[in-house]
Structure 1
Amino acid sequence: MPESAGNAAENAPYLIISSDTHAGLRTDQYRDFLESRYHPQLDRYLERMRASTGMREKLYDQEFVSEWRAEHDEGLAGGWDAARRDQELDRDGVTGEVIFPDADGESGATAVPFSAGLGMSGSGYDPSLALAGARAHNRWLAGLCAQSPARRRGVIVAPIVGNVEAAAAEIRRAHADGLRGGVMIPSLWGHGNRPYHDREYDAIWAVCEELGLPVQTHASAAPSEDLGLYLGLYATEVSWWSARPMWFLIWSGVFERFPGLRFGVQECGLWWVASLLWQMDVAFEREHGTRKLADLGTHMKRRPSEYFDTNCFVGASTAKRRELADRHQIGVGNILWGNDFPHSEGSWPHTREWIAYTFADIPEDETRVMLGEAAVEMFHFDRAELIPIARRIGPRPSDLGRDTSNATPTPPEPLDRHWLTGPDVPDISRSA
């Protein structure tokens, strides 16, 4: 049994992995990592960024942003400075991290060139330019990860829409360069482009399965042309758009063709997962509302929730207590935690307090799985390298006010999916 789990009763430190952190250069600084033939396009892109500053300022509470930056100015430098980053991880009690792009979550100053960062979408971008910007970021990120390789897993940015063969080649190149945190694809493929159930993308799924790289989407992109400045619409919909590719892969049989492929949804919460699994399962079982449909998945050998268990996960950055109450319907081992460093909506720099409150009522072994054990397996961290770091910086249960004096290690409770134990709706098809 792993030390971090087996010694829970002895107040062993938590091995905490943040499955969602961010890093990136100021956009103009990517020039040194961008092929020179794209420098003129970068100059024009920077001009457009400057011209859109006023619109972006309307999207954020500038008083809050100013206060946030003034209070955390030194720590925010960890978004691009490796030494400072390690200090902030240590202070937050985070042993390892999975790194997505765009360190600045408020002004967009660290956006990957050519819209290839968190807001990446198949609409309104030039595929060749987006891939060039992604390559620049991937090159830089490999250097950042190389400075603390044991505790870092960099996510490969891959704008695959319109770029399937070239994106697959970049995934191979970036993996060889040391990036091991999976692959981030656009949440939206955009109007007129092929959706993710199309066999065109099999080349992407194949290389990710071969290299053991989880495919991931991350909250940010949404159809802004529909939303305007009604930010309540964005807050309501953004998780849906980011999660949408997951059910495209499940229902189209991608996990039948690529059983070793893993897919994760990052920073979209947990509130939707249990209800989604219930809805998909009862539809698959041809309950009353779907009985008339001709083909609901004859190419699938298992229920949607079973594919979720073997092939999917959710990176629940700063998950709420209410959401974790659904953990036995979602699956404890399917939930990965994140502190979202250095974004203001995350738990940094108060992660210890956040964990103490959020996991207060959750058994010790389940807490350890969600805080780090599941991510160690998913992203192939070397436990032997992480444990000394956790011993040095990881909070212990007693540090978080948890009493483990009488704790006996027990495995996480089994799945509790009520819809699998009996008919979910009455059969009225033969009613008199």
Structure 2
Amino acid sequence: MTDVVSGRDPYLIISSDCHAGLPTERYRPYLETRFHRDFDEFLAGRDRRRAEMTRLGVRNEAFADRWFRENEEGLRGGWDTARRLRELDGDGVAAEVVFPDADAVDSRTAAPFGVGLGLSGDQDPELGMAGAQAHNRWLAEFVSEHPERHCGVALLPVTAPVDRVVAEIRRARESGLGALMIPAMWAGHEPYHDRRYDPVWAAAAECGMPVLTHSGAAPRHEYGEHLGIYVSEVTWWPARPLWFLLWSGVFERHPGLRFGVAESGCWWLPNLLWFMDRLYLGAHGGKKLSPFAELTRPPHEYLDRQVFVCATNTKRRELAQRYEIGVDNILWGSDFPHPEGTWPDTRAWLRRTFHDIPVAETRRILGLAAAETFGFDAAKLAPLARRIGPTPADLGQSADQAAVEASWARSRESGRHWLTGGDFPLTGPDRDFPRPEVTR
């Protein structure tokens, strides 16, 4: 897609990470009746689960009370379409990628049987699939009211029997959903390098549905009452499948598969990519390892071809690393309506974060890259963007873009420094060590 708008035009903003979900008890009509008794038991345990969250420090009573009191009307946008559009418009967001669980404070909108952001391989297979399908049915209705503005993310308990998983992919696609969320953890099931999942990856690629993980699930039973351990690891778990898929050749075998990591930042990616590229290209520390037979190209090429990061509430530190990550691999998100996101002050957040970033790159990160990844029609969204989107001037960006571009020239030229002269070609004791051919 070519950006043909002028430097002064409003931004087309697409949030790659938003959330929606019914108040949990209202999922009943979307569940098969044979699961209603189990659903009643799940509902009965809500107060106990909330009390446990408070005890562990996951739920701050004072914050929760203030959050719901001050944002009562806007929070209805978690399931009320008309209210949601008002909130998106107010934030300048023209379109969104919709994950589950609108309420991230009290879990009042948890998907049945906890298969939303807590989706993991340890759920009961039958209940897990039933809960996922109930949410997916509702979500398909929800996004159908304004399909040009929403890409619904179907829940996919991928560790269930493969034929059922593939069938749910196709059913979700036919119902109008556009992406798939798999568990970040497989909890005793086969890891994602296992060939049993190949039909799943193939179906996702065939249907044009990106596969994503999202932060939330973690081995909480290991942490005790030490919440800092959870906070330190919760963004690591959704990133972990990336190297399972890469090194096992999943991206090689399924070049049409797109994979994304959501709400886990992207600060971790430059060092990981540097490390993986060096291993593949024959750095000294990898000489004793067997050849990476499943790969025909270095990791950064798979990343640029197939991987993206829904970098919710993107930080200044991450933008400073964008030439190592890849500008087109960073997709901004508001996290609406979660309190750790930018809503309801998105415009102010954008001004603080993007004020010195080149306009052309800002357009890619804030919307155009997401449009291409998730299949939004940018032309259809353009009139709305012109009406609600902030302009470069609104973000404090200079009209002298030549000067802004020049200020970043050195970082842009260095790019991935390990490929542009920092680490290779190898010299000294490594010079005779054979390494794979690098495709360019």
Verify same fold: TM over 0.5. Answer: yes
Q: Could you say which residue in structure 1 is the equivalent of 2:110?
A: 111
- Counterpart Cα distance in 2 of 1:316 and 1:387: 23
Q: Could you say which residue in structure 2 is the equivalent of 1:188?
A: 185
The one-letter amino acid paired with 1:177 is S
**Alignment deviations for residues 8-56 of structure 1 (CA, whole Å, 9 cap, x no partner):** 33x1010000000000011111101001011011111112233222102
The alpha-carbon deviation at position 290 of structure 1 amounts to 1.6
**Alignment deviations for residues 398-432 of structure 1 (CA, whole Å, 9 cap, x no partner):** 2222232666998995771111234367644799x
Aligned residues: 424
TM-score (norm 1): 0.94
Q: Is 1:149 paired with 2:147?
A: yes
| Contact 1:365–1:409 (8 Å) recurs in 2 | no
Q: Could you say which residue in structure 2 is the equivalent of 1:69?
A: 68
The one-letter amino acid paired with 1:208 is A
Other structure's SS at 2:393 match: helix
Other structure's SS at 1:400 match: coil
Pairs within 5 Å for 1:129-148: 129-148=127-146
Q: Could you say which residue in structure 1 is the equivalent of 2:349?
A: 354
Which segment is superposed worse, 67-76 or 403-412? 403-412
| Contact 2:13–2:95 (8 Å) recurs in 1 | yes
Other structure's SS at 2:218 match: coil
Q: Could you say which residue in structure 2 is the equivalent of 1:227?
A: 223
- Percentage identity across aligned positions? 51
Cα 1:426–1:33 shift into 2, 3 Å: same
Q: Could you say which residue in structure 1 is the equivalent of 2:415?
A: 416
The one-letter amino acid paired with 1:140 is W
- Counterpart Cα distance in 2 of 1:414 and 1:348: 35
Other structure's SS at 1:197 match: coil
| Contact 2:24–2:110 (8 Å) recurs in 1 | yes
Q: Is 1:239 paired with 2:239?
A: no
- Counterpart Cα distance in 1 of 2:192 and 2:298: 20
The alpha-carbon deviation at position 392 of structure 1 amounts to 1.3
Within the candidate set 39, 42, 46, 2:43 is matched to 46
Q: Could you say which residue in structure 2 is the equivalent of 1:98?
A: 97
| Contact 2:270–2:321 (8 Å) recurs in 1 | yes
Cα 1:366–1:172 shift into 2, 3 Å: same
Which segment is superposed worse, 371-380 or 382-391? 382-391
Cα 1:290–1:174 shift into 2, 3 Å: same
| Contact 1:97–1:153 (8 Å) recurs in 2 | yes
**Alignment deviations for residues 291-317 of structure 1 (CA, whole Å, 9 cap, x no partner):** 11224x112100111111101000100
Q: Is 1:334 paired with 2:329?
A: yes
| Contact 1:208–1:215 (8 Å) recurs in 2 | yes
Which segment is superposed worse, 395-404 or 13-22? 395-404
Q: Unpaired runs of 5+ in structure 2?
A: 433-440
- Counterpart Cα distance in 2 of 1:163 and 1:408: 56
Q: Could you say which residue in structure 1 is the equivalent of 2:79?
A: 80
The one-letter amino acid paired with 1:103 is A
Q: Is 1:365 paired with 2:360?
A: yes
- Counterpart Cα distance in 2 of 1:427 and 1:234: 43
Q: Could you say which residue in structure 1 is the equivalent of 2:27?
A: 30
Q: Is 1:273 paired with 2:269?
A: yes
The alpha-carbon deviation at position 256 of structure 1 amounts to 1.1
Q: Could you say which residue in structure 1 is the equivalent of 2:212?
A: 216
| Contact 1:8–1:409 (8 Å) recurs in 2 | no
| Contact 1:8–1:364 (8 Å) recurs in 2 | no
The alpha-carbon deviation at position 109 of structure 1 amounts to 1.4
The one-letter amino acid paired with 2:46 is M
The alpha-carbon deviation at position 149 of structure 1 amounts to 1.0
Other structure's SS at 1:294 match: coil
Pairs within 5 Å for 1:290-305: 290-295=286-291, 297-305=292-300
| Contact 1:318–1:347 (8 Å) recurs in 2 | yes
Q: Is 1:310 paired with 2:305?
A: yes
Other structure's SS at 2:260 match: strand
Task: Indicate the RMSD between aligned Cα atoms, in angstroms.
Answer: 2.0
Q: Is 1:166 paired with 2:164?
A: yes
| Contact 1:288–1:427 (8 Å) recurs in 2 | no
| Contact 1:22–1:103 (8 Å) recurs in 2 | yes
- Counterpart Cα distance in 2 of 1:409 and 1:109: 45
- Counterpart Cα distance in 2 of 1:75 and 1:405: 37
- Counterpart Cα distance in 1 of 2:47 and 2:360: 49
| Contact 1:99–1:152 (8 Å) recurs in 2 | yes
| Contact 1:365–1:410 (8 Å) recurs in 2 | no
**Alignment deviations for residues 224-251 of structure 1 (CA, whole Å, 9 cap, x no partner):** 1111221111111111111000111110
Cα 1:415–1:81 shift into 2, 3 Å: farther
Other structure's SS at 1:419 match: coil
| Contact 1:255–1:261 (8 Å) recurs in 2 | yes
- Counterpart Cα distance in 2 of 1:253 and 1:105: 35
Which segment is superposed worse, 400-409 or 208-217? 400-409
Cα 1:409–1:149 shift into 2, 3 Å: farther
- Counterpart Cα distance in 2 of 1:213 and 1:80: 23
Q: Unpaired runs of 5+ in structure 1?
A: none
- Counterpart Cα distance in 2 of 1:383 and 1:370: 14
Q: Is 1:200 paired with 2:199?
A: no
- Counterpart Cα distance in 2 of 1:187 and 1:115: 14
Pairs within 5 Å for 1:240-255: 240-255=236-251
- Counterpart Cα distance in 1 of 2:347 and 2:303: 30
| Contact 1:8–1:365 (8 Å) recurs in 2 | no
| Contact 1:118–1:218 (8 Å) recurs in 2 | yes
The alpha-carbon deviation at position 163 of structure 1 amounts to 3.1
- Counterpart Cα distance in 1 of 2:431 and 2:403: 52
Q: Could you say which residue in structure 2 is the equivalent of 1:399?
A: 394
| Contact 1:263–1:311 (8 Å) recurs in 2 | yes
The one-letter amino acid paired with 1:166 is R
- Counterpart Cα distance in 2 of 1:264 and 1:380: 14
| Contact 2:88–2:94 (8 Å) recurs in 1 | yes
- Counterpart Cα distance in 2 of 1:163 and 1:110: 27
| Contact 1:360–1:402 (8 Å) recurs in 2 | yes
Cα 1:204–1:421 shift into 2, 3 Å: same
The one-letter amino acid paired with 1:87 is R
Other structure's SS at 1:221 match: coil
